[in-house]
Every structure is written in structure tokens, then in C-alpha cells.
Amino acid sequence: MKLVVGLGNPGGQYAETRHNIGWMVLDRIADRAGRAGRGRQRDASEVLELRWKGMDLVLAKPLTYMNDSGVAVRKLMARSHVPMADVLVVADDFALPFGKLRFREAGSHGGHNGLRSIIDELGSERFSRLRVGIGEPGRGAIDHVLSRFAPDERACLPILLDAAAEAVEAWAREGTSKAANRFNAFDLQCSPAGPDVAGGDRPSAPAPGEPGGPADGQGVRRTRTGWRKILPGADDEAGSGGRR
């Protein structure tokens, strides 16, 4: 059993804001699994238990508001008896450009209040997290994270959410290190003037191994100049700089 926690805030005023992209990723997984809207409330969270592609997952969206996310995570882990090694937290990060993905196996909260709460409640930084880039604020940090995505970002958001859902699947199946080798090099490729904006089919995500997509199962991604191996240690940065 794997526990995937998407961070966000409950309430219509926060729906589809940048700070709630963790919820959006979990919604995309539920949709891909044919289980959208099937969650139930327990342990201060909206919880969906599912078997997806041969894996048992618990998807949880804390309802405690961001600053008390750790209360829900502690309750979820206690009920399900999930060890720390089987927990993944999906959170927004404005220290990353919009569309970038970054796995880490441990680390500080980097100023993110949801991660801060989880670390305080669990008494440990040793849980995996998937940080999803929401772009650097051009104004105050709080206003930025609580704002909705710009039209050109919204046009590309389906591709990002699909990639993040695939990243969560890779984590559950292969572990954080291998998932990081594949997805930390993900480069969102999307033309905001494409068919999604015009009302047609949404743009499609590059396939694993293709330019702009994640690495394939062998850790290889094709570039415009040929093929290259995605090597371990692609994410050497010290941590997240988002503060909210």
C-alpha cells in the first residue's frame, strides 16, 4: 500500500489555484483510473483507495487547510500503517518554473507551510515529495500561490497533470530515485496557441523517451540532436525556495 498526499486548500475559492496543484494531480490520477468523484471523507482528508495498474494506492487530499496538513498525514499513516518510505507528498513550488517536476527523497520544507506542518507532525524530513513548478511570482508570494493559472498556462496544464500522474505511477512502481532519474528532466512542451485554446482537442504530452517528455523505462530520452541517457543525480539542488 502506497500513500499519495496532494496538498491544497478546501473550498471553492481555492479550487484550481496554483497552491492546489497537488489536489489537481490526484484528481488526474483518479480520472485516469476511472474513479473520479469516488472519494470519501475520513482522517481529516478526502480519501480514495484504489487499485491502479496492479498497485494499491491511497490518494488523500487533506481538508485541514495547508498550514495544518501534517495533522491529516499523521492520521492517515496511523490508520493505514503506512511506513514513511511508502509516503509521497505532491506539492506546489514557485522556485521551479511552471511545468517542471522535481522528486526528492527527503529535505527541509523550504518555506512551504504544508511541508513544514508535515515535518513538524511526523518529526522527520525523510519522506518523498514531488514538487510541481507553478512559476516564480511576479508579485507577492501569497497572492501568487492563491492565484489561478494564466490562460496560456491553463492551456498547457493538462499535459503537466498527465506527466505528474505518470511520475506518481513511476514512484509507486520503481521508487523515488528511479522516478527522479526519469522525471526530473521533464521539459513541458506545449504551444498555448494550439488547439486547446481554440476549443478543439487538448494538446498531447510527449511520450516517454521523446523530446520534452520524461525518460523511458531505460532512462533514455531523445533530444533534437540524438539520444542521451538520463543519469542518476539529476536533481542536485539543495531544496525548494517557495515560501507560503
List active site positions. Answer: 19
Q: How far apart are CA 189 and CA 203, in angstroms?
A: 9
- Cell numbers of 126, please? 525523510
Helix (H, G, I), strand (E, B) or coil at 16: coil
Count the Cβ atoms, other than its own, within 10 Å of residue 206: 20
Q: How far apart are CA 122 and CA 196, in angstroms?
A: 42
Pairing outcome for strands 55-62 and 87-93:
unpaired
Helix (H, G, I), strand (E, B) or coil at 112: coil
In 190-234, where does DSSP find H-type helix? Answer: 195-198
Q: How far apart are CA 153 and CA 166, in angstroms?
A: 19
